[in-house]
Amino acid sequence: MIREPAHTPASRAGSIVTAALFALMLLAPAALALAGRAGADANFVYYTEMRRPFNAPPLTAGALATGGWMRDLERQIGDAFPLRTPMIVGYDALKYRALDDVASVHVVRGRDGWLFLGDEERAYDDGSFAPPDAVLGRVADAYASRARWCAARGITYVFLLVPNKSTVYARFLPAWARHVEPNAGERLLPMLRARGVRAVYPRQQLIDESFRSDVYQRGDTHWNDTGAYVAYRALVAATRDAGVRDAIERRTLRPRVEPAVGDLDRFAGVASWLPNDTIRDEFAARAHDAGSPSYPNDAYGANFQRSAYEVAGARLPTALVFGDSFSVALKRFVAEDFRRTVALQYEISGPQSFDRVAVETEHPRVVIEELVERALPFAVNRAEGERPGATVPER
């Protein structure tokens, strides 16, 4: 005969408290929803879950006939119920602290507090971030086409490939992470140079500097000002024959550590409580904001965020910089070396990365095109429109 364990007053009290807390977790969102407090936290969904809140299509769209309206309604309610954000943040914090893990598939936790982009590391691990030479050759052809087009107009073109964070800080990756060498960027560089493209890939310079100072943020995919400055010096070296001179000597920099919110911290759901510092370099800047230029009849202008900077009274060349989010830190250094610098920022997954209307309108002395290494798959797609005989989509 099996004797049931006796329930002590303490155990009964614990069961009651547990049941009450569970009921509160279920009922509190419902009560808040009835009070009109429901609604999706659009910023949290976008920056942490890398998507936008779901909005169910109208029933007239056909969902009623197919029965899909129930699924759509469930998704919309799931994104909008009250307390969703604090519950997810609490779970993410518990998993990070207690289990030494992150809740997001988009983040990999490395050693010594370093976080890496999970999508990127899995692509390295399974070999999908290793395009064949024929594909990389088409990418090189596309950039070579732009370089020749610029050269025909007396413009110096230089391509800057920014290394992925994990290729600079491989020493902090988890043990399972594997990188094939040479990587896609290292294979692309000689193809570009063989086609006459000035190509800069400052991976080794960044690795060397990383032993003296952080060059990328620990909780972010991006470099800090120190990393951007390393790339800036490499660009200057590649464009000296175009009249570009180094206007910012290292000794004039005043680095400052300041708090920042990293994109990887957001993806992991720990941005609200886990500190993430970045390095900001201060210097005696001469360039000032010259507004946001626009160009008539530019069908592709909406694909770029535009900014311009000018150095008053200087006898310097002019520049146009195309780049992804890594160009934000870079352009403040570059702008010091040119009388006028126009920066056009694009989304790495977007349809355009080069705008010939902007180049023809500004007619700069130098065109710099920056691309982060993890965006190479998107560059492959864009390159298909510039293969020999195809219509160039950016004009």
How confident is the model over 200-237, as pLDDT tens digits?
999 999 999 999 999 999 999 999 999 999 999 999 99
Please tell me the predicted confidence (pLDDT) of residue 115.
92
Report the alpha-carbon distance of residue 345 to residue 304 in Å, rounded: 5
Please tell me the predicted confidence (pLDDT) of residue 390.
36
**Cis ω before 293 (30° cut-off from 0):** no
Please tell me the predicted confidence (pLDDT) of residue 387.
40
The whole-number average pLDDT for the span 160-169 is: 95
What is the chain's mean pLDDT, rounded? Answer: 82
Q: How confident is the model at residue 85 (pLDDT cuts 50, 70, 90)?
A: low
The whole-number average pLDDT for the span 356-369 is: 96
Report the alpha-carbon distance of residue 184 to residue 385 in Å, rounded: 21
CA angle (384, 389, 393) in 5-degree steps = 50
Q: Of 244, 233, 394, 208, whose CA–CA distance to 319 is shortest?
A: 244
> By mean pLDDT, which of 26-30, 91-95, 149-153, 391-395 is the weakest?
391-395
Q: How confident is the model at residue 83 (pLDDT cuts 50, 70, 90)?
A: low
> By mean pLDDT, which of 155-159, 355-359, 372-376, 390-394 is the weakest?
390-394
More confident residue, 93 or 170: 170
Q: How confident is the model at residue 255 (pLDDT cuts 50, 70, 90)?
A: very high
Please tell me the predicted confidence (pLDDT) of residue 392.
36
Beta-strand runs (E) in the chain: 107-109, 115-117, 156-162, 198-200, 254-259, 277-282, 288-289, 305-310, 318-323, 340-345, 366-372
The whole-number average pLDDT for the span 346-354 is: 88
Please tell me the predicted confidence (pLDDT) of residue 386.
44
Q: How confident is the model at residue 164 (pLDDT cuts 50, 70, 90)?
A: very high
Please tell me the predicted confidence (pLDDT) of residue 56.
67
Using the predicted structure, report yes or no on whether residue 122 has a pLDDT greater than 70. Answer: yes
Give the pair of three-digit tokens for residue 314. Answer: 């200087």
The answer to whether 219 and 262 are in contact (CB under 8 A) is: yes
Q: How confident is the model at residue 2 (pLDDT cuts 50, 70, 90)?
A: very low
Please tell me the predicted confidence (pLDDT) of residue 291.
95
Give the pTM: 0.79
Give the Å distances, CA to CA, from 37 to 76, 80, 272, 329. 15, 9, 22, 39
The rounded Cα 311 to chain-centroid distance in angstroms is 29
> By mean pLDDT, which of 12-16, 82-86, 246-250, 384-388 is the weakest?
384-388
Q: Of 188, 189, 184, 203, whose CA–CA distance to 127 is shortest?
A: 184
Give the pair of three-digit tokens for residue 335. Answer: 């702008």
The whole-number average pLDDT for the span 138-152 is: 95
Report the alpha-carbon distance of residue 251 to residue 230 in Å, rounded: 13
Q: Radius of gyration over alpha carbons of the chain, in Å?
A: 26
Using the predicted structure, report yes or no on whether residue 391 has a pLDDT greater than 50. Answer: no
Q: How confident is the model at residue 88 (pLDDT cuts 50, 70, 90)?
A: low
Please tell me the predicted confidence (pLDDT) of residue 162.
97
